[in-house]
Structures are given as structure tokens and as C-alpha cells.
Structure 1
Amino acid sequence: MRKLRAEQFGLTRKVDYGSPEQNETAARIVEAVRTEGDAALLRYTEQLDRVQVDAAGLRVTEEEIQAAYDRVDADFLTAIRQAAANIRAFHEKQLRQSWVDVQPDGTMLGQLLRPLKRVGVYVPGGKAAYPSSVLMNVIPAQVAGVPEIVMVTPPATGGKTGIDPYILVAAAEAGVKEMYRVGGAQAIAALAYGTETIPPVDKICGPGNIYVALAKRAVFGVVAIDSIAGPSEIVVLADETADPAYVAADLLSQAEHDEMASAILVTASEALADAVATEVEQQLSTLPREGTARQSIEGYGAILLAETMDEAIAAVNRMAPEHLEIMTAEPMTLLGRIENAGAIFVGPYSSEPVGDYFAGPNHILPTNGTARFSSPVNVDDFVKKSSLIYYSKDALMANGDQIIALARHEGLEAHARAIEIRLERER
């Protein structure tokens, strides 16, 4: 891995919003589905996925879901059920209630929380299938009270209409009852605008390829979206007490995701830096996904050598990483100084995959430095809030003149008169 002084390293990453050609392609697909419905959906499924399916075959049947259970390992089923229970328990603690505050003059102010009615979850079917992401998208929406959750995922390519059985089982275990075999930009458009077969949703969640990301950008405003996710990122903040093998393994756990994934060690210990570099190379040589991980490490991996721990922490906060691991002698003493990170893993046994799969907090996290201002997927993402205002007569009589003064200051006479007419009649 390349070693750099912290001040030499570019701490921000350019966000890739696709080439002009990719943007044009995504926009064309979205518009076709918006105007043509199922016809465009089926045409692009045949053209891009090389799968022929009619409208009646878009929806996954109950028989297919049951057959999927026969194809998954018993160990997987046990693990996915326990993971779902952990994720549900964590997100239930995020639930908030509507509230009302009644004043002595009879004024009643409050906030009403209501779940979104219908949410669409996109599950990719490209380089790898990720059943864990199904749980992370679906369960917070369920906990929020969303009554309709629909999943879309690409069919197998090359003429096969099947879907990875582990994806189907994860969705069924999470409680999804409506699933469709369609992917890409065309699936995002179908969720946003609706077709004859797929009713529209209020929000779209879940990662995908560049065309999925661009389609989500294109439909934002018609529906809500979770985010435009970038490549995975991990930063390990470590001192001389860290185990180099642990650090290297955790860096590679993200590097194997994607050729553009970022894996960075930040430390003030040159001895640790050297040891981790050696370990990364040794562990890389035995990885099944060595090619992907090596491209990630060579293109976006680094070891940042800081002069002091203060400088190291400052570098971490500027990067605002998706995943941050703290492997130091006393990691809890540093926790309060971390300002920007999507998820923070504390101590040598809190390896990033613990959070990816099992602990309970959501693994759908802000990337590309957006942890400076955004948060992991959570229950609040699936509720909407309405303000409640009940103004009593006494309150209006007491405050009406001030409201009128503010309205006239802004040049909005009709606003002022809407209050004034009540004051004149009631005084």
C-alpha cells in the first residue's frame, strides 16, 4: 500500500455522476417507462438483461418463494433470522411518537408522525447478491409502520428468469410480500411513475449500478430517494497497539467490494504502517476476489502517517468516512473527538463485518464524505412529519397585531388582512 503523510493526501473524493452518455441513456429509459409503462419495462428487460418475460411474469409468485427456501442452507436461514431480530430490536429504539403541547391560553401546537404509505426497495443482482441489504432496507421501513413494501431485483441474465434464492428468502423473512423481477434504470422508473403491473411508490431505497443511481437522480422530486451511494469506504484509526493482521483484514473486507472501494489506515506509528502494508500483501494473495481487492488497494488504498494522534483525528474528520474503526489502546477516550463518520466501530473485536451483517445498526451509510451532513438509514427515513397548529381566540387576540406587523413588513397585505379581519370582528 502507498504510504503518505497526512498533509499530502487528497482527503476528498470526486463524486462520479456518470458520463454524459450514461446520463442520456438513463434519462431515455426513465422517460420510456414513464410514457409506455409495461411495454418499455419488458423491452428493456429483454434488451439489457437478455431475459424475455411477459407482464404477468414480472411478479414473483408464492411458489417461487417457497421453492427458494428449499435451496438455501439451513445455517444461512438461522443466521438471517437472528440478524433480522437484531436489526429490528436496534431500529425499534429509534421510534418516535407524535406530540402535542397545550398552552394555558388554549393554543395547541404539535407534530404528527405518519409512516410513508408505499416504499420501493431496489436489490442489485450484478457482481454479488446481498441478502443483508434487503434486511437493512426493509426492516426500518417496517418498524416505521410502512404498510406496503415492494422489492425489485433483476432476473438472472442470459434468458433465465430466476432470482437468487437467498435474496428471495431474505425478503420473505423480512416480511416483503410484493416482489418483481426487474432491474436497472427501468425498475427505478417503474417504482417512481408506476406501470400497468407495478404501482408507484413514495420513496425508493437501495443501491445499484451507475444507471440505477442516475435514474434515482432523475426521478427525485417525483418520489423521495435514500441517497446516491458511492463506492464503499473504510478508515482504520490505529496506534502502535493495534494488531496489523486485524487492521489488514478489515481494510481488505471493504476493498473486495469494488475496484473503486477505498481502504485507508491512519496512524502515527510508522512501525504499524510497515507491518500493515506487509500483511495486506500477504492476505491479498489468498483472497478469492484478489483481482477486485488489489485494484481497490492500488487505486484507492493508502496508509496516512500522521505526526500525532491529534493530526490523525483531524484527517479522519476531514474524510468523513462511511466506516471508521478505532483500534487504539483506549479507543473510548477518542470517541468524543470523532465528528464525521457513518458508523464507528470501537475496539479490536468490532470488525466492520459485525456491523455489515449482524449487530443491528444499519449498514446503509453515507459515502463520499457525506457523513459530514447525513446519517445511516434509520426509521425517520420512512416517516413524514406534519406540524399541528390550533390557535385559540385568546391567542390570536393577544398576538394578532404582531403577526400583522410582520406580514406588512414583508409586503404581503393579504396575509395581514387575513388576521386583521378576525381582530376587527372579535374585539
Structure 2
Amino acid sequence: MTETTKATQESTKPGTCPVSQFAASFNPFDEDYLQDPYAAFTRARNEEPVFYSPEIDYWVVSKFDDVVEIFRDTESYSATAAGELIKPPCPAALEVLAEIDYVPSTYLVDEDAPLHPKRRRVLRKGVTDDRVAEIEPLTRRFVGECLDKIVKTGNADLVTKLTFEVPALTAFILMGVPEAEVARVRGYASRFALWIWGRPADEQQVTLAKEFAAYLEYAREHIDRLIDNPGDDYMSNAIKAWQKAGNDDVWDKTYLASIMQGHLYASHETTTNATASGFKALLAHRDQWAMLCNDPSLIPNAVEEILRYASSVPTWRRVTKRPVTIGGFDIPAGERILLLTGSANHDETKFAGGDDFDITRKNADEHLAFGWGVHHCLGQGLARMEMRVMLEETTKRLPHLHLVEDQKWAYSPNTSFRGPEHVYVQWDPSQNPMADDRP
């Protein structure tokens, strides 16, 4: 028996067999993992494609075909675990939530049929290709304004100055948030991932609960405002559906506020992370950055390769609805599954040289960065547009920027959302290709 086979057979839940050394060491909150989860992903695919992690009490699945099958089989796997807090609120955090009469509600990502398809049909009308095309000029304006502020300085943090600003502003337009309220709202969303998918200490969790509560109260205010004066935005479409006769079983105000809160976060934070990771990857592979600057037609495929190579959502969750078999393991109903979508995106059986970054990769767009199947991300077209526009404008105006050497990379300690908190870059403003951009 080989060591790999032995490890795989031992990687089962306590009470049946011992847990292997690799499975026991798997910890998505460990700093080494946060810095480079792909090392653990590669080892998992090679040694234990399916294993039980006692650290998080999840079964972990790493190979492309297995992940797709789980997304596909909605009869066996429920989405209800997707938005579940990794760490339940401590008593003090619960008190904060009680003060605002918080009522737990679902998000679209953690719903099953029959409600999910009914709600999705309505919500997708707010992010059609035509709607994204309407928003693109605004996004391009936001990018231009961000670059205007930094182009003569010679140095910047691309996250705080560009990749956070642009998706946030675009998301707020999509959701009908007035530009005058952007400064208030964007602060609420910045640590949503840590609240749901992290393990904050109790004191930090109380702080996060206060931010979550303030965010929810704003969402309620915004919903009330749109009820009185609906527009042609994402949330107004949902409100109009709620107001139609016979839809009381599908919509209520609690759910509308939940959707406002969750989708406002998801529609900007994931794009922030993906674009920040993209700039990091491109500038670390200088030859590929140069290719983009010389040939902007490569940018759309570069966006796909960024999403594949450095997904902003490298893991997702499901729960078994009935006994299943994954990778040779019999898993009972009610077990939580952690899908390593980032690992699936590097699986060599699907992507040749999967750990390599290649903006000319022919099947880059077959990644799972937006999920797969009935829960395929509604906002994927918007995210692609924003990433493309940020790359188009930055390569045009700052082709000579480069990463600050020896900078320390920091990532939010959570299971499911990943992107560098800062990407520090430098350039010589006197060499800016556009005369008006020079000092």
C-alpha cells in the first residue's frame, strides 16, 4: 500500500478511522495557508482529493470533476451552508443584533428550490448584459477619476486607490444607492467576509456585529426609500416583484433588506479582491503585464485567467441532504462540505500546467470562480466588465508601474473570500505616456 493510498483511506471522520496527518493539519485560518492556499490545494489533489478536516468539521473536496458534480447535484447537496457563520455569534454579539430586532434571513447563495429559482428569475433582470453595458461608461469614469488622483504621484496602493473604489461605486449605482451616501455605506461592507466566514475573537466579533447592524439598518432605510420611490435598479426590481399580488410567499421586507445587504457586499468585495489579485499576478509576471500593455485585445482573456489563477472565492460550501459518495468516501446526510474551487481551478486534469499563470490560456474561461450551475453568480458579467475596464485604463496610462519590492502581503482570515489587502506599486511619473499625466 502506498503512503498516498494509506493517507486517503485514513482521512475520514473521527469515530470511524484515524485522520491523516495532512487532514489534521489543514487549517484555512493558518497564516501559511492564508499566504498561499494553493500549496495546500496542490497537495490535497495529489494526496487526498477528499478528506475530513477536524479543524473546521468539514469534508474537503479539491478536484475539478468532484466539485462540479457537487454543484450539479442539487438533489443531494444543499446550498444552505453557504451563508452560515463559521463561528456562531457570542452572547455579547447577539445582544448587539437583538438591539436592532435582527431576524435571520437567507441570501440567494444559500437558498434551494423552490424559492431560489423564483427569486433568481427576478433578481437577474437587474444585471443583464444590457444593464452592464449601460453602467460601463460610469465605471470607466470612476476608473479615470481614481487614476487622475494618483498618476502624478509615482506611488500608490492599488487597493485603496483603485480596486476598492471602482467596484464599490459601481455596486452602489447598481443597487440604487445615491453617490452622496457612498462614503457612509462602503465602510459597512469592508469586513463582511470576516463576520460570516471568519473566526474573529469575541471582542472583534462584537465590533463586527455593530458594523453588521449599522449596515443592515442602512439597508432597511434604503429599501423603505425605494418602496416609496422605486427606480430602475437591482433592488427596485425586487421591490416591484414583492409588490405584485400573490408574491407574499416569495418576498418580504426582511428578505429584501437581507438581499440589499448581502448583494451590495458581494457585488463589490469579490471584484475588489479579484482585481487586486490580478494586478499582483500580472506585475509579478512582468512579461505578461508587458503583453497586455502592448496588446489590449488580450485583456478579456487575461481577466478569465486571473479569475482562474487567483479566484477571489477560492472555497465555497454545501451540506449533504442525503447519504452520498465522494471520491470513494461514503458521507452521511447532514455533513458540511468545503469545496476548494480555487483548487479545482488549478486541477491539471482540466487546466494543463494549472499552477502556472498564462493570460493566453485557451480554456481559461472554464474556471469555477463564479460557481457553477443553478447558483452561477448573477453578477459575473458586471465583475468581468469592471476588471476589464480597470486593466484597460491602467495599462494605457501606467504601463511602467511595478510592484514595490519586499512588501508584506496581508489577507483577511476567512475561509471563502481572498484578495490582498494592499498592492503597493511605484512608477516614474515623468515617463507617463500621456503628456497631461506628467508632472
User: TM-score, normalising length from structure 1?
Assistant: 0.24
Relative contact order higher in (CA < 8 Å, ≥ 6 apart): 2
Q: Normalized per residue, which structure has more helix?
A: 2
